[in-house]
Structure 1
Amino acid sequence: MTIELVRPESPEQHHSHRDVTGGWLRPAVFGAMDGLVSNFALIAGVVGAAGAGQGAVLAGFAGLIAGACSMAAGEYTSVKSQTELMRAEIAVERRELARNPEGEQAELAALYRARGLEPELAERVAAGLSADPEQALRVHVREELGVDMDDLPSPYVAAASSFGAFSAGALVPLAPFLFGASGLMVALVLSVVALFGFGAAVAVMTARPWWLGGLRQLALGVGAATVTFGLGHLLGVTVS
């Protein structure tokens, strides 16, 4: 008689998620794209009006510094205001839990009943979660505000991400002129490659087709540069 050994089932492999609430991805993506598109468009407008030269370099540097500082300040103010509002609402919830814990527990039980739990089970879950005041606060904040009070976005991270990303993006069309480029072609090629590449990279990060993200960003950037180059050329002709 043979004895067949049965291998125990392997433990379940739990999947992991990427950080989607850290406050850095949106300002970094927005900053890099804004720096690349706006500075390329700015330089294209200057070249269209006055040709390549010192004016294009000065405009590119001014666009890089002013844009990076503006983006960082804007992101800091935006995220700081958002975080302060979140903290104010968390304080409201904390006071309400201290003033009326029974009512808040009943509110939590009603929420779980609305989500499909049996009334008795919903009551037990709400009672268990409400036993610890801090745990109860976290649950209420997450359920009612959709916020993780231990992972609020950082305005400093947002500002730094935006500043660095904008500077990196804005440097792409400026770099050829720093090395003596006499026309817009090299900056155009570098910007086209960077637009498509960065758009494709972001699409991969967000689980979308890479070619679609690349083409979309390329179309937006080239469209903006075309408009400013045309306006700069018309303005240059008019002034001269």
Structure 2
Amino acid sequence: MSVDVALPPAERHQHHRDVTGGWLRPAVFGAMDGLISNFALISGVVGGGASNTIVVVTGLAGLAAGAFSMAAGEYTSVASQAELMRAEIDIEKAELERDPEGELAELVALYEARGLDAETAEGVARQLTAQPELAWRVHVREELGVDPDDLPSPYVAAFSSFTAFAMGAIVPLVPFMLGATGLAVAAVISVLGLLGAGAVVARLTARPWWKGALRQLALGVAAAAATFGIGSLVGTSLS
């Protein structure tokens, strides 16, 4: 006689997005910064009464200067952070060699604080400590909150930042490169760009898309309005 046995439901694995690697923050920041800063720069120049040629040259200069500046800043920032992390990792390795029992006690205390009983915590800590290459990695992850095998790349951060800034900065400049003389068309596509970029970022961070879109639009419009007003005042006073 056969007996039907109820099988447990298939396990569902949650797939998470990749939030490491050092690319998301500089890419997002670069695109937003490029769009807002060049839209604001172009608005200020147009507000000052500049010709189409001057607007294009100014916009291209702003794009190039901003993209290289962002890339250099991101490279230096991420490289310095990675160097600091490696220095701390070296310190942790030296501590493990100098005082293995003390480091073992730290690991035991840490696991006890996370809810393991004393015997289990010591057993786990001793098994990990018995493997030198695993031991220092565990200490680095637990004590420093750093994954030593996945440190952010300064090259990835710099390239992401440069590319994203350039892509954002070109948006308000395109109408003038095609012969536009007023700010209306550039303002429309910049507004659409701000809404789209804000919505994309909101989706990446699991927030409502419309909140991100409106927030980015408000920031961009405020920056453009301020620089347009300054450009108009300066242009009037110099004319």
* TM-score (structure 1 length as normaliser): 0.97
Q: Against the structure 1 CA distance between its residues 183 and 52, is the aligned structure 2 distance closer, same or farther, given a 3 Å change threshold?
A: farther
| Number of the residue aligned with 1:115 | 114
**SS in structure 1 at match of 2:198:** helix
Matched residues in 2 for 1:41 and 1:211: separation?
A: 23
Matched residues in 2 for 1:18 and 1:131: separation?
A: 34
State the shift of 1:116 in Å: 1.6
| Number of the residue aligned with 1:236 | 235
| Number of the residue aligned with 2:182 | 183
Contact 1:52 1:183 survives alignment (8 Å):
no
| Number of the residue aligned with 1:71 | 70
State the shift of 1:44 in Å: 0.3
Aligned pairs, number: 239
> 2:69 aligned with 1:87, yes or no?
no
* TM-score (structure 2 length as normaliser): 0.97
Matched residues in 1 for 2:182 and 2:4: separation?
A: 75
| Number of the residue aligned with 1:160 | 159
**SS in structure 2 at match of 1:16:** coil
Deviations 1:168-190 (A, max 9, x none): 00000001101001110010000
Deviations 1:81-120 (A, max 9, x none): 0000000000000111111111111110011111221111
Structure 1 gap ranges (5+): none
| Number of the residue aligned with 1:104 | 103
* C-alpha RMSD of the superposition: 1.2
State the shift of 1:52 in Å: 4.3
| Number of the residue aligned with 2:125 | 126
Work out the percentage of aligned pairs sharing the same amino acid. Answer: 67
| Number of the residue aligned with 2:198 | 199
Amino acid of the structure 1 residue aligned with 2:138 = V
Matched residues in 1 for 2:136 and 2:16: separation?
A: 25
- Name which of structure 1's ranges 126-135 and 209-218 shifts more when overlaid on structure 2: 126-135
State the shift of 1:8 in Å: 2.2
| Number of the residue aligned with 1:22 | 21
| Number of the residue aligned with 1:142 | 141
Which portions of structure 1, spanning 4 or more consecutive aligned residues, are displaced by more than 3 angstroms? 2-7
Matched residues in 1 for 2:93 and 2:4: separation?
A: 57
Amino acid of the structure 2 residue aligned with 1:41 = A
| Number of the residue aligned with 1:60 | 59
**SS in structure 2 at match of 1:116:** coil
- Name which of structure 1's ranges 120-129 and 208-217 shifts more when overlaid on structure 2: 120-129
**SS in structure 2 at match of 1:198:** helix
Contact 1:203 1:214 survives alignment (8 Å):
yes
Matched residues in 2 for 1:195 and 1:136: separation?
A: 47
Matched residues in 2 for 1:51 and 1:188: separation?
A: 16
Amino acid of the structure 1 residue aligned with 2:29 = F
